[in-house]
Amino acid sequence: MSDVLVGPGTLSVDHRPPPGRTLGDGRHPVAAGQDGYAVIYVEPEGATPRIAIRDFDAVGIPCNAATSCGVDTTVGEDATPVVDAHPVVAALPDGEYITAFVEFGGDGDGLGVAMQLVVPGEATQPAVSFMNQATLGAQYDPDLVWTGEEVVGAYVDSSNLDTAPDIRWRRFNNGAGATEEVLAGTTAAEFNVALTATTDGFAAAWRESSGFEETVRVRRYGEFGTVEWSVAQPFSHPTALIVLPLLNSTNGTYCWCTRTRGLTPRVRATSDVSATRSSTLMCPARSKAGTLPPKLPGTKGM
Ligand SMILES: [Ca+2]
């Protein structure tokens, strides 16, 4: 194996360091499908930050013009991405990718969540549309998932001034979006939503914060309705840095990483059978070069 740059290498100009690239904090900056996988990232240092996607074939070879796949395709050329665009991507079954990112001004009021279909190898990409329907104030931090039948998107919404920040979600089928719905809209602060496909639908996990109390909630939308459960964050702290819910539903186990300032990062898991079965599975020691982290039970494909 060898490391591969996701985009062309750039040189320094006028003794300034070359521009950098970041994956952002989106839950799914990488997506794999039947034909390969793609990485979406931000080049934040231009007058307008640039979002780009690089696709690889099924065995990991970077696609290029010779293989008729896209090379470092710009996403959102007709939009205004922000530095904290936190782009995400989901692979579609026809070799295309659906992307989402945060941009400014395009929805008519402040930040909004833009979506764009990416067709590898095409010189002209489809136009941007918007995931959010309510546009008042800021909509940001999206996630996307392909369920096998449709695209589901979710994002943080601040259009309801009494309860914001909330989380809304929306289904998309063949490019048409259904009416958006409130996924979490209490007076607590809901944020950091993550999505995953399940055997009969999808599941969402998010953080809920009220005062000094914090809870991770998980809701599963399936063939037989919805199931929701939650787990209090035992390591909640006012200076907690971030929680990244990492969902894996192959065996009903849902994991996330808790990173709290001054404490060891922890990976926790819960099952939709019973929230009381949640437990701390791993407290990773400082990694040694060449040492793989221990495997979590049932976390294949996260
Ligand atoms: Ca807006």
Q: How far is the CA of 246 from the centre of ligand 1 (A)?
A: 27
Ligand 1 centre to CA of 88 (Å) is: 18
Measured in Å, residue 197 CA sits from the centre of ligand 1 at: 27
81 CA from centroid of ligand 1 (Å): 13
Which of the four pLDDT bands, split at 50, 70 and 90, describes residue 210? confident
Q: What is the mean pLDDT of the chain?
A: 79
133 and 30 in a common domain: yes
What distance in angstroms lies between residue 283's CA and the mean position of ligand 1's atoms?
39
Lowest mean pLDDT among 23-27, 196-200, 291-295: 291-295
Whether 154 maps to a domain, the answer reads no
Q: What share of the chain is helix, strand, coil (3-state, %, to 5)?
A: 0, 50, 50
C-alpha 135 – ligand 1 centre gap (Å): 4
Asked whether residue 139 falls in the same domain as residue 222, the answer is: no
Give per-residue pLDDT as tens, 245-270: 566 555 556 666 555 555 555 556 66
Burial of 137-166, coded b for 16+ CB within 10 Å and e otherwise, reads bbbbbbbbbbbeeebbbbbbbbbbeebbbb
42 and 138 co-located in one domain? yes
- CA 12 to centroid of ligand 1, rounded, Å: 36
pLDDT band (50, 70, 90) for residue 243: low
Lowest mean pLDDT among 21-25, 30-34, 91-95: 21-25
Rounded mean pLDDT, 204-219: 84
Determine the pLDDT at residue 17: 66
Verify that 227 and 124 share a domain, yes or no: no
Last residue of a domain, one of 124, 148, 172: 148
Cα 207 to averaged position of ligand 1 atoms, centre (Å):
21
Å from CA of 302 to ligand 1 middle:
31
Whole domain around residue 218: which residue ranges? Answer: 188-285
Quick one: average pLDDT of 111-118?
A: 97
Query: What is the whole-number distance in angstroms between the Cα of residue 129 and the centre of ligand 1?
Result: 13
276 CA to centre of ligand 1 in angstroms: 38
Average pLDDT estimate for 50-76: 76
Distance 139 CA to ligand 1 centre (A): 5
Q: Assess if residue 170 is contained within a domain.
A: no
Residue 242 has pLDDT above 70, yes or no: no
Identify whether residues 44 and 112 lie together within a single domain.
Answer: yes
Instruction: Indicate the DSSP class of residue 126.
Output: P
Exposed, middle or buried by CB within 10 Å (0-12, 13-18, 19+), for 30?
middle
pLDDT for the residue 288: 41
User: What pLDDT, in 10s, does the model give residues 84-113?
Assistant: 999 999 999 988 999 999 999 999 999 999
Q: Are residues 91 and 201 in the same domain?
A: no
Inter-residue contact 228 to 177 (CB < 8 Å): no
Gap from CA of 95 to ligand 1 centroid (Å):
31
Q: Ligand 1 center to residue 137 CA distance, Å? A: 5
Are 200 and 119 in the same domain? Answer: no
Same domain flag for 62 and 122: yes
Mean pLDDT, range 198-214, rounded to an integer: 85
Model confidence at 238: pLDDT above 60? no
Please give the pLDDT value at position 254.
Answer: 63
Question: Residue 291 domain-assigned?
Answer: no
User: For residue 156, how far is its CA from the centre of ligand 1 (angstroms)?
Assistant: 11
Amino acid at 57: D
| Alpha carbon distance 273, 287 (integer Å) | 32
- 207 with 273, same domain: the answer is yes
Token pair recorded at residue 83: 């530095």
Which pLDDT band, with edges at 50, 70 and 90, does 234 fall under? low
**Together in a domain, 143 and 230:** no
Centre of ligand 1 from the C-alpha of residue 259, in Å: 29
Residue 302: inside a domain, yes or no? no
Task: Say whether pLDDT at 156 is over 90.
Answer: yes
56 CA to centre of ligand 1 in angstroms: 33
Per-residue confidence band for 71, with pLDDT thresholds at 50, 70 and 90: low
Q: Flag whether 177 is in a domain.
A: no
Based on the fold, state whether residues 80 and 140 are members of the same structural domain: yes
Residue 155 forms part of a structural domain: no
For residue 289, what pLDDT is reported?
39
Q: Which residues surround ligand 1, an ion (CB under 5 A)?
A: 107, 109-110, 112, 135, 139
**Which of 127, 148, 169 delimits the end of a domain?**
148
How far is the centre of ligand 1, averaged over its atoms, from the C-alpha of 237 (Å)?
30
CA of 58 to the centre of ligand 1 (A): 37
DSSP symbols for 213-267: EEEEEEEEEETTEEEEEEEE-TT--TT--EEEEEE--TTSEEEEEEE-TTS--EE
Identify which of 196, 190, 248, 185 has the alpha carbon closest to the alpha carbon of residue 215.
Answer: 190
Mean pLDDT of the 183-190 span? 96
Looking at the structure of the chain, the number of domains it has is 2
- Give ∠ CA 175-181-186 in degrees, rounded to 5: 150
> Is 301 within a domain?
no
The mean pLDDT value for 15-39 works out to: 85
pLDDT band for position 123 (cuts 50, 70, 90): confident
Q: What is the pLDDT of residues 283-299, one digit of tens each?
A: 444 434 333 333 433 33
**132 and 36 belong to one structural domain:** yes
Whether residue 246 is contained in a domain is answered as yes
Residues 6+ apart with CB under 8 A from 174: none
How many H-runs (helices) and E-runs (strands) does the chain carry? 0, 21
Instruction: Among 91, 118, 148, identify where a domain stops.
Output: 148
Q: What token pair was written down for 295?
A: 């495997």
pLDDT band at 223 (very low <50, low <70, confident <90, very high): confident
Residue 65 vs residue 221, higher pLDDT: 221
